[in-house]
Amino acid sequence: MEREIPDMKIYTYPDAVLKTTAEPIKNIDEDLQKIIDQMFKTMYLAPGIGLAANQVGILRRVIVFDGSPGEEEPFPHVLINPEIVAGEGSIKWDEACLSVPDYTADVVRKSRVQVKGLDRHGNPLDLEAEDLLAVCLQHEIDHLDGILFVDRISSLKRALYKKKLKKKNKGDH
């Protein structure tokens, strides 16, 4: 019997699912393939360049991302159980997040990273990335560990964002 994966909702800060560590994936099955396909659809519709399973309420270690963000042709990639195994350099990037709407902030990250994981068929992957792609991978892997980019900015900037969010939510009611 074919099981349909419904459209995905992107959870937003401060939802608790975003602060929860995702579980490693032990079994790459048909359900996971459907989740991955739906994550791509959700990411591109948002629009975004990366999406972690936590962001759509699925606490499993899988991310999808566009391997060539900003280019004409999409270049979809999947990483299952991704892990940063090396990093060097430093880069400051104005980051945004589908789970932190209407907010960007400068975040300092490694400018180059080496990431290991599995592709959607369970084959080992070893990726080297720099600049925007390196930032994207670090950002999405942080999600799997329950860390948002606002956790990496100063407490003052985070407090200002929370205040802005509270004000916006009051206006919605």
Residue 152 lies in a domain: yes
Q: Determine, yes or no, domain membership for 2.
A: no
Rounded to two decimals, what is the model's pTM?
A: 0.91
What is the tens place of the pLDDT at every residue in 142-170? 999 999 999 999 999 989 888 988 888 87
> What's the domain range around 166?
16-172
List pLDDT tens digits, range 83-138: 999 999 999 999 999 999 889 999 999 999 999 999 999 999 999 999 999 999 99
List the beta bridge partners of residue 157.
Answer: none
Question: What CATH number is associated with residue 102?
Answer: 3.90.45.10
Spatial CB neighbours of 146, under 8 Å, sequence gap ≥ 6: 18, 19, 20, 21, 22, 54
Active site residue 4: no
Would 153 be classed as within a structural domain? yes
Domain total in the chain: 1
What does the pLDDT average to over 37-53? 95
